[in-house]
Amino acid sequence: MNTLKLRDYTGKALSECTILELYNAALALTQDACRNRGYNSGKKKVYYISAEFLIGKLLSNNLINLGIYDDVKAELAEAGKDITELEEFEYEPSLGNGGLGRLAACFIDSLATLGLPADGVGLAYHCGLFKQSFEDRKQHMRPDYWRKWGMANWMKRTDKHYKVQCGDLELLSTMYEIDVTGYGSKCGRLRLFDLDTVNEGLIGSGIGFDKKEIEKNLTLFLYPDDSDEDGKLLRVYQEYFMVSNAAQLILDECVERGSNLHDLADYAAIQINDTHPSLVIPELVRLLTEKGIEEKEAYQIVTDVCAYTNHTILAEALETWPKHFFKAVVPHLMPIIKRMNDAVKAKYEEPSVQIIDEYGNVHMAHMDIHYSHSVNGVARLHTDILKETELNNFYKLYPEKFNNKTNGITFRRWVIECNPELTELITEKIGEGWKTDARQLEQLIPYAEDETFLQCILNRKNTKKHKFSAWIEQYQGDKVDPESVYDVQIKRLHEYKRQQLNLLWAIDRYLHIKDGYRPRRPVTVFFGAKAAPAYVIAKDIIHAILAFSSIVNNDPEVSPYLKVVMLRNYNVSMAEKLIPASDISEQISLASKEASGTGNMKFMLNGAVTLGTMDGANVEIAELVGEDNIFTFGQSSEEVIEHYKNADYVAKNWYKKDKRLAAAVDFLVSEEMLEAGDRKLLKQLYDELLGKDWFMTFPDFESYCKTKDKALAAYEDRMGWAKKMAVNIAKAGYFSSDRTIDQYNNDIWHLEKDC
Ligand code: GPU
């Protein structure tokens, strides 16, 4: 029972408090409620090390998980205050770039909920992912200092400090903790390391680098990319600082729990979230040998403790570091990495599996695979591609290490919190059980034939669309017709995700409308995306979308039928508003390139229907909902892989033979566009598409247009569409991160539940 009252934390009547005072009171209450619950513990614990935890706003999520949301809401209401005011006031900590960081946040929620002893371990960045604005129809970036308006109070300073040696530089860390509440369970912790010497005065100067300044800027920024030499060196410092702290913490805690270090694997599991934390491997070897363990045995211990998750097959995203970087930052690890490489070489001659290649570059993923006991991909197709193609040479060496863990999302944030309207409707029909056992959503299947229920689903979607329409107008002035189809693509801007394909469709539709075509119902195409600061083509695509949207939205002939809305500063909080209001979920990556995607799961859960390629987890979504309840198109991953292998794709040939495509592409550099946008940038994009189109948008254009037309036509059969929505919701249970975490635990970590 909750006996905690906000009033006890304010020192005066709630009605007399400022919003900041109320926020801080609610925060302190949350922390006390968490302490009262206690923390999951046990002999063995998993340390989920990640450079990113894209946790999003914390207050409501915590209150819901602690079961006190309604109490706090009521107490505020009694004092004439609205809890939504607090929710809007809260500043989002954007401590991640995208899917990988958000996945880590969903995982720590599920770990706590399932009663598994676990810590998330990472860095306490002072600024999260940059704040995006649009000026002259271009992306502008500002630092996102998030530790304000009470937010810093979520991080509790501890008295844990570790020394981290980087060459001749000695750094002294401080550990902070953020409580991670589980849903109706004990809590977990996020442990973030920082340096007291970091100088926030440097924030305005951007991501600069100077070795002397490392102490001042090490944790100042989350990395939005790593485009220049200096930035890369700073990234290596960040990675090493993160894992050295993690390794010291892990050894300390395991010894405290009774480990003699030889048996470390009985006390700790380390999950390496992509390659950013990979240096934990040689760092642990170093620390273990320092404590008297033979180096050979240390290799085995580390292999038994560590497991590695791969999140991409994109070569440019796989970290390799020139040896001289490591010599500068971690000279004491270089001999260890070299000996680890020698041990590999002695066993396997194949050049493609070496840790250090012939040019002296260190391949982080290779080190992970040799010195972990588990290697997993994040969706079935992705894992299959790793095994058969990208990492085939490793798979042949270690078939037993490879396994799949299809991603998941926490249903607490992604429906219970963000869509109470739908949550209530589901619960009315099938009870509360689905909230902790997501597979129970399947009990909704019979209701997919129930017209009253289907009408309710449509009504609730409609409510969300109206709410979003009101919100977006107030937020950025765009007027959106709630009766239009909400067609939504929100994710980082990347050529492989193919926002440009969606743009070409919109241009094509615009040209048709100009030609006299009058669609039955308007469509609003929403884009939300940030481009990495140094990713030129990604920024050009944003520019083209903004230029095009100004043309469409201001054309009285077209705008009643088509609108294009580019959302400013897309982040987790915005996703929580837009996903519940969405009709069509755009998941149109080039098949084989999107490892999994997790937005696709959030949309499905909220009753949006997927329009997508057979890529990543879309494949599993398609299998679950059946072909009547998803719209798929485009080349298969096999075809794509074959084209890359044969290097036989020529964009111009497609442009020449498809008139509709050519017209849309040409429009990018039309008079209208050049008037609305910047000639150089638009021409650059046009040339990139015609001359290269590396992610093969042209071959998929025709089938994309046809399939999207099919989806829009299906939308007009409202009952038929509602049925698709219902089936998507009913089948979403598989994508709960509780299921994913259970699988990690059963197959990789083997922790005992504390509940
Ligand atoms: N992903 Br690698 C990121 O968000 N950032 C990265 O640096 C790398 C991968 C994403 C994948 O692109 C996405 O498909 C996947 O769902 C997500 O990681 C979580 O696994």
Ligand 1 neighbour 616 (Cβ under 6 A): yes
What would the pLDDT profile of 616-646 be if each residue is shown by its tens digit?
Answer: 999 999 999 999 999 999 999 999 999 999 9
Please check the confidence at residue 2 and state whether its pLDDT lies above 80. no
Range with lowest mean pLDDT among 180-194, 201-215, 616-630: 201-215
Percent share of the chain, pLDDT over 90: 95
Atom of ligand 1 nearest to the CA of 617: 16
Q: Is the beta carbon of 379 within 6 A of some atom in ligand 1?
A: no
Q: In degrees rounded to 5, what are phi and psi of residue 567?
A: -75, 135
156's CB contacts (< 8 A; 6+ apart) are 31, 176, 177, 178, 179
User: What is the average pLDDT across 373-401?
Assistant: 98
Chain-centroid distance, C-alpha 542 = 20
Q: Where in the chain is the domain with CATH 3.40.50.2000?
A: 38-57+92-407+740-749, 411-734
Pairing between β-strand 268-273 and β-strand 169-181 as defined by DSSP bridges: unpaired
Atom 19, ligand 1: residue with shortest CA distance? 100
Expressed in percent and rounded to 5, the helix, strand and coil fractions of the chain are: 55, 15, 30
Q: Tell me the average pLDDT across 577-596.
A: 98
Distance (Å) from CA 100 to ligand 1 centroid = 4
What integer pLDDT is reported at residue 205 of this predicted model?
67
- Alpha-carbon distances, residue 201 vs 204, 271, 654 (angstroms): 7, 35, 52
Phi then psi dihedrals of residue 122, to 5 deg:
-160, -155
Closest listed residue to residue 428, CA positions, set 464, 452, 461: 452
Span 187-208, average pLDDT:
88
Note the pLDDT of residue 231.
78
Helix (H) or strand (E) holding 338: helix 334-347
| The pLDDT of residue 376 | 98
Alpha carbons 434 and 467: distance in angstroms, whole number: 26
Compute, in angstroms, the gap from residue 529 CA to the centroid of ligand 1. 15
C-alpha 330/C-alpha 321 separation (Å) is 12
In angstroms, the CA 276 to CA 566 distance is 31
Q: How many residues does the chain have?
A: 755
Q: What residue spans of 362-498 are helical by DSSP H? A: 364-370, 380-385, 392-397, 411, 420-430, 451-476
Q: Label residue 242 left, alpha or beta by phi (over 0 means left) and psi (-120 to 50 means alpha).
A: alpha
Burial class for 78, CB neighbours closer than 10 Å (0-12, 13-18, 19+): exposed
Residue 314 CB–ligand 1 contact under 6 Å? no
96 touches ligand 1 (CB under 6 Å):
no
Confidence check: pLDDT of 701 > 90: yes
Ligand 1 centroid, distance to 595 Cα (angstroms): 7
Gap between the Cα atoms of 518 and 534, Å rounded: 40
Ligand 1 mutation target, pool 54, 274, 312, most atoms within 8 A of CB: 312
Q: Which atom of ligand 1 is nearest to the CA of 616?
A: 14
Distance from residue 99's CA to the centre of ligand 1 (Å) = 5
- Residues tagged active-site: 311, 491-492, 497, 598, 602
Pocket lining: 103 vs ligand 1, CB cutoff 6 Å: yes
The residue nearest atom 9 of ligand 1, judged by CA position, is 311
pLDDT range class, residue 315, cuts 50, 70, 90: confident
User: Residue of the nearest CA to atom 1 in ligand 1?
Assistant: 100
Q: For 528-550, b where at least 16 C-beta lie within 10 A, e where not — what string?
A: bbbbbbebebbbbbbbbbbbbbb
Residues 434, 441 contacting (CB under 8 angstroms): yes
Two tokens at 24?
A: 């801080």
Q: What is the pLDDT of residue 575?
A: 98
Bridge pairing between strands 523-528 and 485-490: parallel
Q: Establish whether residue 100 lines the binding site of ligand 1, counting it when its CB lies within 6 angstroms of any ligand atom.
A: yes
Return d(Cα 544, Cα 510) in angstroms, integer: 14
The Cα–Cα gap between 345 and 358 comes to 12
Q: What is the mean pLDDT of the chain?
A: 96
Residue whose CA is at the smallest distance from ligand 1 atom 13 = 597
Other CB atoms within 10 A of residue 474 CB? 9
Residue 61, C-beta contacts closer than 8 angstroms, at least 6 positions apart: 109, 181, 412, 413, 417
Residue 211 pLDDT: 55
What CA–CA distances, in Å, run from 704 to 169, 260, 611? 55, 59, 9
Determine which helix (DSSP H) or strand (DSSP E) holds 268, and give its type and residue range: strand 268-273
Determine if ligand 1 sits within 6 Å of the CB of residue 528. no
Which atom of ligand 1 is nearest to 314's Cα? Answer: 2
Rounded-to-integer distance, Cα 513 and Cα 562, Å: 9
Task: Give whole-number Cα distances, 345 to 304, 352, 355, 390, in Å.
Answer: 20, 11, 9, 20
- Whole-angstrom distance, CA of residue 479 vs CA of residue 676: 20
115 Cα to the center of ligand 1, angstroms: 26
Rounded Cα distance between 129 and 212, Å, is: 24
Which pLDDT belongs to residue 212?
A: 63
According to the model, what pLDDT value does residue 213 have? 85
What are phi and psi for residue 489, nearest 5 degrees? -125, 105
ipTM above 0.95, yes or no: yes
> What's the angle, vertex CA 528, arms to CA 527 and CA 533, rounded to 5?
120
Rounded-to-integer distance, Cα 310 and Cα 389, Å: 14
Instruction: Specify the pLDDT at position 318.
Output: 85
Res. 61: pLDDT tops 80: yes
Question: Residue 572: pLDDT above 60?
Answer: yes
Nearest to 593 by CA among 698, 702, 697: 697
Please check the confidence at residue 450 and state whether its pLDDT lies above 60. Answer: yes
**DSSP three-state, residue 736:** strand
What mean pLDDT comes out for the span 327-333? 95
Cβ density class 397-408: b for 16+ within 10 Å, e for less: bbeebbbbbbbb
pLDDT attached to residue 210: 62
Instruction: Give pLDDT tens digits for 104-145.
Output: 999 999 999 999 999 999 999 999 999 999 999 999 999 999
CA of 587 to the centre of ligand 1 (A): 14
Q: How far is the CA of 609 from the centre of ligand 1 (A)?
A: 22
DSSP label at 589? P
Q: Is 421 exposed, middle or buried (0-12, 13-18, 19+ CB in 10 A)?
A: middle
3-state SS assignment for residue 482 = coil
- Find all residues with CB under 8 Å of 11, minimum gap 6, and list them: none
Are 170 and 237 contacting, i.e. CB atoms less than 8 angstroms apart? no
Maximum Cα–Cα distance for the chain, whole Å? 80
The answer to whether the beta carbons of residues 24 and 150 sit under 8 Å apart is: yes
Which CATH architecture is the domain 411-734 placed in?
3-Layer(aba) Sandwich (3.40)
Q: The domain 38-57+92-407+740-749: what is its CATH number?
A: 3.40.50.2000
For β-strands 361-363 and 187-195, DSSP reports them as: unpaired
Instruction: Indicate the top mutation candidate among 100, 222, 497 to test ligand 1's pocket, ranked by most ligand atoms within 8 A of CB.
Output: 100
99 lines ligand 1 (CB under 6 A): yes
| pLDDT band at 209; cut points 50, 70, 90 | low
Q: pLDDT band at residue 227, thresholds of 50, 70 and 90?
A: low
